[in-house]
Amino acid sequence: MGPVILLSIIVILVLGIAVSCLKIVPQAQAYVIERLGAYQGTWSVGFHFKMPFFDKIARKVNLKEQVADFPPQPVITKDNVTMRIDTVVFYQITDPKLFTYGVENPMMAIENLTATTLRNIIGDLELDQTLTSRETINTKMRANLDIATDPWGIKVNRVELKNIIPPAEIQNAMEKQMKAERERREAVTRAEGEKKAKILEAEGAKESAILRAEADKESAILRADAEREKRIREADGEAQAILKVQQANADGIRMLKEACADEAVLKIRSLEAFEKVADGQATTILLPAELQGIASLAVALKEGAKAVE
C-alpha cells in the first residue's frame, strides 16, 4: 500500500470523525455532555462540536411540557373506604443537569411520589369530601410534588384526578341515593307546578268575576240611562202635547173674542174644553153653578139636533 493511499485513508478517517463530532441541537431540547465520565456542560439549541474520544452525549433532554398518566392507585379514606384513583401529572424539565444526575429513574420516582402523596391527602378526608374536593386535592398534590421534584430539575405545573372509583357497593348506594334525590326533586317540581297552576286558575277566575261584575255594572248603567232617557222623552212628549192642546184652546178662545161672540157661546166652548179634559180619565166633573144651566141647555140642544137628523 503506497503512502498516498494511506494518507487518503487517514484523511477520510479524520474527516469522518470530525463530521461525527459536529452536532445540531434542535428546538426545545438540550444535550448533557460528559468528558471522560464527568459532567462537562449542557448544549442548548444550535450548532456544537465535541471533542472526539473524550466527550460524549450523556442524555438528550426534552424541554417541552410533558404528561404522565399513572394507573389507578388504591387509597383509603378517613372513614375506611377503599377506592381507586388515577392521576395525570403535567411536568416540565427545567434543569437538564439535575434531571440527568438527580435521580436514577425520574418517571418512576414521580409515580411513586404521586401515589404516596395521594394516599396522605386522601387519608385525611372522608368519602364525601373526597368526591367533592377534587380542586383542593389537585392543589395540594401539585404543591407537594413541585417541592419534592425541584432537586431533580423538574417543575410540576399541574396535577389532575382523572377518575375516582369507589367500591361497587358504594356505587350502588350512591346510585340509589341519586335516584331518590331525582324523584324527590321531580315531586317537588310537580307540586310547585300544580300550585302555580291553581294560583293562576284562581287569579283567572278572580279576573273573570271582576270583568263580569264590571260588565254587569256598565250594562245596568246603560239600561238605567236608556230608561231615564225614555222617561224624559215621554215626559217631554206629554208636555208638548198638553202645551199644544192648551195653545189650541187659547187660540180658539182668542178667535171667539175677536169674533165678538157673546158670553153664552164662550161658556159653551168652555164646556167643550171640559169634555176634552175629562175624555174618560175621570168619572166626576165639578162645574161652577152658573155653568150648570148652560150645560143643561147645551145637552138639550144637542139631543134636539140629533132628533131632527
Amino acid identity for residue 245 in this structure: V
pLDDT (tens, 9 = 90+) of the chain, 309 residues, equals 567 777 777 778 777 777 777 888 899 899 999 988 889 999 888 888 888 888 888 889 999 999 999 888 888 888 888 888 989 999 999 999 999 998 888 889 999 999 999 999 988 888 888 888 888 899 999 999 999 999 999 999 999 998 888 877 777 777 777 788 888 888 888 888 888 888 988 888 888 888 888 888 888 888 888 888 888 888 888 878 877 777 777 776 676 566 655 555 555 555 555 555 555 454 455 545 554 555 555 455 455 545 545
Residue 29 β-bridge partners: 62
pLDDT computed for residue 78 by the predictor: 87
What residue ranges in 117-229 does DSSP mark as E strands?
154-165
pLDDT computed for residue 270 by the predictor: 57
Tell me how far apart the alpha carbons of residues 297 and 267 are, in angstroms, rounded to a whole number: 11
Tell me how far apart the alpha carbons of residues 242 and 234 are, in angstroms, rounded to a whole number: 12
One-character DSSP codes across 267-300:
HHHHHHHHHHHHTTS-S-----HHHHHHHHHHHH
Three-state DSSP state, 120: helix
One-character DSSP codes across 147-191:
HHHGGGTEEEEEEEEEEEE--HHHHHHHHHHHHHHHHHHHHHHHH
- Find where cell 368519602 sits: 127
Handedness of CA 118, 124, 126, 131 (dihedral sign): negative
Q: Closest by alpha carbon to 290, among 260, 261, 268, 305?
A: 268
Q: Which domains does the chain have, with CATH numbers?
A: 3-62 (no CATH), 65-166 (3.30.479.30), 226-308 (no CATH)
pTM (predicted TM-score): 0.54
Amino acid identity for residue 251 in this structure: D
DSSP assignment letter at 93: E
Torsion of CA 285, 288, 292, 293, to 10 degrees: -170
